Structure 1
Amino acid sequence: MKQVLSIISALLLLITFGCTLETQNDSQETKVETSSTETNAKKEMSVHFIDVGQGDSILIQSPEGKNMLVDGGKREKGKDVVTYLRQHGVDKLDYVVATHPDADHIGGLLAVLNSVSIKNFVDSGKEHTTQTYEQMLQLILDKHIPFIVPSVGDTIPLDSDIEITVLNTGENVDDNNEASIVLKVQYEDVSFLLTGDADAGVEKSMIKEYNLKSTVLKAGHHGSDTSSSDAFIREVQPEVTILSYGENNMYGHPTPVIVTRLKKANSDIYSTAEIGNIVVRTDGKDYTVATDSLRNDKESVAETPLYISEKDVREEIVGITNQGEEAVNLEGWQLVSVAGNQVYSFPNMTIDAGETIYITSGPEAREDETHLKWTSRQMWRNGGDAAQLLNEKGVVLSEVK
C-alpha cells in the first residue's frame, strides 16, 4: 500500500483534475497532438466492443479519426487488445479511460501502455492495492502521461463533433464498482451509455441527475443482477444492449433475469461471448451493428423470469420471485449454498407469475402455501454465503452473494 501511495504522490505532479485538452495563457497555446486515421473520412463514428472474455474493453473512433480506449480486459487479454488496435489502424490513443481498478478492466492496459502511444490517461482515482494497479500507475508515471481524475459533469474533448460526459466517478467511495467512470457519448441523434461495473445504487443516483436515454447501452457489470435495474432500463430505453462477458464464466454472467428485463424493454441484445467483437457504426443519424460470425458451438444467452429476490443467511430464508407473465415448473431446479456446497432440489411444483416463494431452513423452518422447508439444520454460513438458482439443465440463472 505504501508503494501505491508513493506512486500516486508522484502522479500528483502530472495530475489534471477535470478533463482538458487545451490550456491557454497570455503568452502561448499548448495543444495535445491527436491521432488520425483514414477510415472515418465519411464522418462516421465507430464504437468497438472488443471480445476480451470476462472483462470490458471498448474502442471509440471519432468522426475526425481520434481514438479513445475504455478499459483493457484482464492482463492476459492485453496482447489481443493491442493486436485489435493495430488491425484497425490505431498507433496512438488520444485518451485511455480506466473505469475502475478491477483486474478485468485494467489488466490488459499494461500491454497497451507498453505498446501504444497514449496522450492522456483518465482514471477514477479509486486507489487499489493490487500489483496490477501499482504497475499501471508506475507505467503512467514512467511515460509521463498526463493523469486525469475527472469530476462528475466533466466532458472529455476527444472530438468537437461528439460530446462525452462523465456521469459517475468516485475516488472516495468504498467499493470499486461504485467508483466506475460512467460515460455518455453523444453523436448527434445517436448515443452510447458506457457503465463500467456501476451498480444499481449508482444507477439510481444518475437517474436523479441526468437524461439517460441512449441508443446503445453497455450493460453494467457484465450483465450481473447487481446492475441494470428495472428503473434504470426504463430510463435508458436502449435500442441495443451490449453484454461483455466470458463464456462459461464462474459468476453466472449475464444473469438471466437481466436478459429477460432487456428483452421486455425490446432491446436487441449482442454478447461478446456468443459473437465475438461487436462494432456499432453511426453517422449521427443512423447506425449499424456488425459482428463476427456466429459461433455454432455456443448456445444463446439463457433467459428466465425467475431470480433470487431475497436472502437472509441468519434467518435461513431465501426468496425466489417469478417476474414473468407465465407460471414456471420447478421440477429439477436447485438452490445452492455456495460456501457450504449444500443443495436444495425443488419438488415437482409451479411458481405462478408474480409469485414469490421462500425456501427455509434451520430450527425455525416452516412449510405452508408460500414457504418450502429445506431442513431443520442450518444450511447457510452466517459469515457470508452466496446463493445460486440453477435450472433443470444446471445453468446458474441467478446469484446473490
Structure 2
Amino acid sequence: MGTGGPSPSGELLRVHFIDVGQGDSILIESPNKHYMLIDGGTKSAGKEVVEYLRDQEIRKLDYVVATHPDADHIGGLIPVLNSISIKKFIDSGKVHTSETYEEMLTLIQSKNIPFEVAHRNDNFLLDDNIKISVLHADEEAIDNNEASIVLKVVYDEVSFLLTADAGVEVEKKMMESMDVRATILKAGHHGSNTSSSLPFVQAVKPEATILSYGQDNTYGHPHYEVIQNLQHVGSKMYGTAESGTIVVATDGKQYEVLANEWTGIGGRSSIAPPERKASKVKSKRESSIIIESVELEDEVVAITNNGEQAISMNGWQLLSVEGNQLFNFPDISIAAGDTLYITSGPHAKEGKDYIKWTGRQVWLNDGDTAQLINPKGEVVNEH
C-alpha cells in the first residue's frame, strides 16, 4: 500500500482511478459528497463504471467530463448517461464523426443535460475547498489527443494532475504558462512515450503516478521510456492493470494510495529496453504486400507489392496503432512492383495511385505504428 505519510484523517477527498482496461475513467469524490466523473473507458466498460458508481451509492453526478472524443474515453459514458443523473456535461469541443461520439451528443441533448465546452483557465468548485482548473483544452486541435482536457485538482497541500491523452507538445505548452506541479500525476495516454516526457515529469515532480492501461495491451503500454522518466524523478508508480481500481484518499495534508506499487506485470515493453528500429518489423506470416513507408506529418502511407503478380486488397486493413483507427481497403488490386498511397489529413490526395482515407488527421506525429492486416486478420507487416 502506497502512502504519502501517515494515513489521512478528517474530511477526505477521494480520487478513484477506475479499472476500465485499456482506457481512462476517473471519479472525484469530494468530502461533502459531490462527484465529478472524467471519462468512462470503452463502451463495453461502461457497465462496470455504472456498477462501480452504484456500489459507491452515487445517484447523481455534478459533472461529467469527456476529455476528448476517442472511444476508449467516451464510449463508457453512454451507459452512464443512460443510468445516472447528471447536472452538467463538460466536453472538449473537438468534433468527431464517430457513431460513439454522435450517440453521446444525442443522449446529452435528449436528456436536456446542460452542456459546455471547456476552455483553458476554466475553474470548477466541487466543494468550497476543492478547486479544479483546466490547464489545457483545444477544440481546434487537429489530433484528438491534442484536444485533451487536462485538469488540475487542488485540495489544500495535495494536488492531482489528470492529463488524459495529452502529448508532449501539449506538455510543452502547459509548462510554459501553467503551474504543472502536482502531488499525484495520472500519466498521459496510458503510459505511452508520446506523453510524460522527462522535462514534463521533472516540472510536475509527482510523488506518485497512476498508470491507467489494460493488461498485456497491444500497444506495450506503459512504455519503457516513461517508466525510466518516472524513476528518474523518484515517483512511485501504481497501475490499474495490476491493482484494479486505485483509490487515492487525502485530507489535504497527507494522502494514501490504496494499491500496491507497480511491478511491471502487464506492461511487456516497460520492463526491458525498446527494440532497435531495425527489428521493429515483425511478420506473423510472409507477405509480398508491405508497408514501404509511413510519413506521419504528411499523413501518407506507402503500400508496395514486392511480389511477381497482382494482389487484390479486398478485405485487407491498415491500422494506426496509437490512434486505434482502422482503414478498410476498397476492392482494388496492386500490380506487381507497384505502390499504393493511403492519404489522410486536411491535405489528403486522391486519384491515380492515391486513396484518400479521411480528411481528419490519423497518424500521431510524435510517434505511431502502422500495421497491415490481411483478410484472415493476421498482422503481416508493421512499420
TM-score (norm 1): 0.67
Match of 2:280 among 317, 336, 343: 336
Measured in 2, the distance between the counterparts of 1:102 and 1:303 equals: 24
Return the match for 2:239 from 271, 277, 282.
Answer: 271
- CA gap 1:183/1:80 in 2 versus in 1, 3 angstroms: same
Shift of 1:89: 1.6
C-alpha distance in 2 between matches for 1:304 and 1:294: 14
2:88 is aligned with 1:101 = no
Q: What is the DSSP-based 3-state SS (H/G/I as helix, E as strand, rest coil) of the residue aligned with 2:57?
A: coil
**Structure 2: gaps of 5 or more residues:** 1-7, 287-336, 343-362, 372-381
Aligned-pair distance for 1:386?
Answer: 2.8
Highest relative contact order (Cα 8 Å, sep 6+), 1 or 2? 2
- Counterpart amino acid of residue 280 in structure 2: V
* Corresponding residue SS for 1:84: helix
CA distance, structure 1, for counterparts of residue 57 and residue 208 of structure 2: 26
Code of the aligned partner of 2:167 = D
> Secondary structure at the residue paired with 2:20?
coil
CA offsets, 1:344-382, max 9 Å, x none?
xxxxxxxxxxxxxxxxxxxxxxxxxxxxxxxxxx9x998
Find out whether 1:125 has 2:99 as its counterpart.
no
CA separation of 1:296/1:208 partners in 2, compared to 1, >3 Å: closer, same or farther? closer
| Cα root mean square deviation, aligned | 3.1
CA distance in 1, matches of 2:256, 2:130: 18
1:181 and 2:145 are equivalent in the alignment: no
1:114 equivalent in structure 2: 82
Relative to 1, partners in 2 of residues 1:162 and 1:296: Cα closer, same or farther, differing over 3 Å?
closer
Name 2:369's counterpart in structure 1. 386
Deviations 1:237-290 (A, max 9, x none): 100000001111111111111112111211110000011010000000000011
Which residue of structure 2 lines up, in the alignment, with residue 312 of structure 1? Answer: none
Q: How big is the shift at 1:43?
A: 1.6
Q: What displacement does 1:299 show?
A: 5.6
- Aligned residue number for residue 216 of structure 1: 184
| Aligned residue number for residue 299 of structure 2 | none
How far, CA to CA, are the matches of 1:103 and 1:300 in structure 2? 21
TM-score (norm 2): 0.70
Which residue is equivalent to 1:330? none
Equivalent residue pairs, number: 292
Aligned to 1:240: 208
Asked if 1 retains the 8 angstrom alpha-carbon contact of 2:237 and 2:262, the reply is no
Q: Compare CA radii of gyration and give the structure with the larger one.
A: 1
State, as a whole percentage, how many aligned pairs show the same letter.
Answer: 52
Q: Of 50, 58, 70, which aligns to 1:82? A: 50
AA partner of residue 204 (structure 1): K
What SS class does the counterpart of residue 206 from structure 1 fall into?
A: helix
Measured after TM superposition, the shift of residue 61 of structure 1 is: 0.3
Q: Distance in 2 between matches of 1:381 and 1:261?
A: 39
Q: Is the 8 A contact 1:340 1:381 kept in 2?
A: no
Find the aligned partners of 1:222 and 1:149 in 2 and give their Cα distance.
24
Structure 2 counterpart of 1:193, one-letter code: L
- Which 5+ residue runs of structure 1 have no aligned equivalent? 1-39, 309-318, 321-333, 343-377, 389-399
Change (3 A) 1:135 1:214: same
Distance 1:297 1:305 in 2: 10
Contact 2:19 2:240 in 1 (8 A): yes
Equivalent residue for 2:319? none
SS at match of 1:289: strand
Is 1:158 the counterpart of 2:126 in the alignment?
Answer: yes
SS of aligned partner of 2:44: helix
